A and B are shown apart, each in its own frame.
Chain A
Amino acid sequence: MDIDLSQFSQVFFEESLEGLSKMESELLAIDIENFDQESINTIFRAAHSIKGGSATFGFTEVANFTHLLETLLDEIREHIRPMQPQHVEMLLASVDVIRNMIDALMKDQACNDPAFAPLMKRFEQTLAQPSNANISVETDTLNEPQSSPSSTVSETGLDPDLTLWQIDFSAGEDILRCGNDPIYMFTELAELGQLKVTLKDVAYPDVDEYEAEICYLQWQLLLLTDTSISRIKEVFEWVESECDIQFNQLERTPETDAQFLSPLDAKAPEEANNQDAVKEDSFVITDAPAPTLTEPQSAAEPANSFDMTSALAEAFEQQNHPSAQALPIEQTTVNTADVQAQIEVNELQISNTTTFTSTSEQSNKSVVTKPSSRSTDINQSSIRVNIEKVDQLINMVGELVITQAMLGQIGQQETINQETLITLRLGLEQLASHTRELQENVMQIRMMPISFAFNRFPRLVHDISLQLGKKVDLVLSGEETELDKTVMEKIVDPLVHLVRNSLDHGIELPEKRREQGKPELGTIQLNAFHRGGNIIIEIIDDGSGLNTDKILSIARKKGLVADNEHLNTEEIHQLIFKPGFSTAENVSGLSGRGVGMDVVKRNITELNGDINLASTPGKGSHITIRLPLTLAILDGQLVRVGNHVYVVPLMSIHESLQVSERQINFLGKDQQGHRQEVIHLREEFIPIVKVFEQFNHQADAQKIEKGIVMIVDCNNKKVGLLVDELLSQQQVVIKNLEVNYTKTPGISGATILGNGEVALIIDVISLTHLSGIGHHKEHAA
Chain B
Amino acid sequence: MDVSHQQSQATQGDVNQQYLTFIMGPEEYGVEILSVQEIRGWQKTTAIPNAPEYVKGVINLRGNVVPIIDLRQRFGLSELTYGPTTVVIVVKVKIEKNSKVIGIVVDAVSDVIIVDDKNLRPTPDFGLDTDVRFIKGLTSLSDKMVIILDVHKLLGNEVLPSAQQLSSIIEQLEIPAA
Contact = CB atoms under 8 A, between A and B. Distances in A.
A binds B: yes
Contacts of A376: none
Given A740-B100, A740-B101, A752-B60, A758 B65 contact: yes
B34 interface: no
A618 B47 CA distance: 53
B60 A746 contact: no
A515 B64 CA distance: 62
B67 interface: yes
Interface string A723-757: 00000000000011101110011110010100011
A694 B48 CA distance: 12
A697 B100 CA distance: 27
B26 interface: no
A611 B2 CA distance: 66
Contacts of B49: 694-697, 744, 746-747, 760
A739 B66 CA distance: 9
Contacts of A741: 48, 55, 58, 65, 67, 100
B60 A758 contact: yes
Interface string B22-57: 000000000000000000000011111111000101
For chain A, give the interface size range: 20 to 34
Contacts of A758: 45-46, 57-60, 65
Contacts of B44: 757
A750 B57 CA distance: 11
Interface in B121-178: none
A760 B46 contact: yes
Contact of A644 (B47, B50, B60, B65): B47
Contacts of A740: 58, 64-67, 100-102
Contacts of A695: 49-50
Contacts of B102: 740
Interface in A631-674: 644-645
A744 B65 CA distance: 14
Nearest to A752: B60
A759 interface: yes
B9 to A, nearest CB: 33
Nearest to B57: A758
Contact of B58 (A645, A746, A750): A750
A760 B48 CA distance: 8
Contact of B46 (A736, A739, A757): A757
B34 to A, nearest CB: 18
A67 B63 CA distance: 50
Contact of B65 (A694, A696, A697, A737): A737
A746 B48 CA distance: 10
Contacts of A759: 46
Given A750-B58, A757-B44, A758-B60, A739 B65 contact: yes
A641 to B, nearest CB: 9
Contacts of A757: 44, 46, 60
Contacts of A744: 48-51
A131 B54 CA distance: 76
Question: Which has the most chain A C-beta neighbours within 10 Å: B51, B63, B65?
Answer: B65
Contacts of B58: 737, 740-741, 750, 758, 760
Nearest to A646: B49
A747 B58 CA distance: 13
A759 B65 CA distance: 10
A697 B50 CA distance: 9
A455 to B, nearest CB: 30
Interface in B58-92: 58-60, 63-67
A757 B59 CA distance: 7
Nearest to B55: A741
Contact of A739 (B45, B47, B50, B100): B100
Nearest to B92: A740
A608 to B, nearest CB: 18
A766 to B, nearest CB: 11
A154 to B, nearest CB: 52
A735 B61 CA distance: 12
Interface string B95-123: 00010111000000000000000000000
Contacts of B67: 740-741
B158 to A, nearest CB: 8
Contacts of B101: 740
A696 B50 contact: yes
A750 B65 contact: yes
A228 B124 CA distance: 93
A744 B55 CA distance: 12
A54 B3 CA distance: 56
Interface in A258-313: none
A745 B100 contact: no
A771 to B, nearest CB: 12
Nearest to A753: B60
B100 A644 contact: no
Contacts of B59: 758
B96 to A, nearest CB: 12
A759 B98 CA distance: 24
A353 to B, nearest CB: 41
A735 B46 CA distance: 14
Interface in A669-724: 694-697
Nearest to A755: B60
Contacts of B48: 737, 741, 744, 747, 760
B99 to A, nearest CB: 9
B69 to A, nearest CB: 10
Nearest to A642: B47
A746 B46 contact: no
Question: Which has the most chain A C-beta neighbours within 10 Å: B49, B50, B66, B67?
Answer: B49
Contacts of A644: 46-47
Contacts of B50: 694-696, 744-746
Nearest to B102: A740
A696 B55 CA distance: 14
A737 B64 CA distance: 9
Nearest to B49: A695
A752 B60 CA distance: 7
B51 A735 contact: no
A746 B45 CA distance: 19
Interface in A196-243: none
A758 B46 CA distance: 6
Q: Which 4 A-B pairs have the closest CB atoms?
A: A695-B49, A758-B46, A741-B67, A750-B65
Given A741-B48, A757-B60, 17 more contacts: A644-B47, A696-B49, A736-B65, A737-B58, A740-B64, A740-B67, A741-B65, A744-B48, A744-B50, A745-B50, A747-B48, A750-B58, A752-B60, A756-B60, A757-B44, A757-B46, A758-B45
Interface of B: 44-51, 55, 57-60, 63-67, 98, 100-102
9 contacts: A644-B47, A740-B58, A741-B48, A741-B55, A744-B50, A746-B50, A756-B60, A758-B65, A760-B48
